[in-house]
Amino acid sequence: MESEMTPEETEQKEQMVLSMCTCNSCPSWVECDEAGGYCFPAIGKSAHITEEKGCNCGGCPVYAQMDLRHGYYRTEGPEKEQAGM
């Protein structure tokens, strides 16, 4: 079972995700005040992206680094949510 992260660890992981994130190059991206990183539970779904026009999640460095399995995080929710965790 995965242990809970401290607030500091969560912040560090979120910053790592955002630094590697390629959400803004996705066909579904819309210009807004969001930075991406929708695969990360502390960020979650987009409040602005509602229409899927394609998904580049599989090619994102975060996808490989965090061993992710799903996609369309911006509308479907983070990995843990999609996996039913």
pLDDT band at 1 (very low <50, low <70, confident <90, very high): very low
Residue 2: pLDDT over 80: no
Statement: the pTM of the whole predicted model exceeds 0.95: no
- pLDDT for 61: 96
DSSP at 59? G
Helices within the chain (DSSP H only): 7-20, 61-65, 73-76, 79-82
Report d(CA 76, CA 8) in Å as an integer: 26
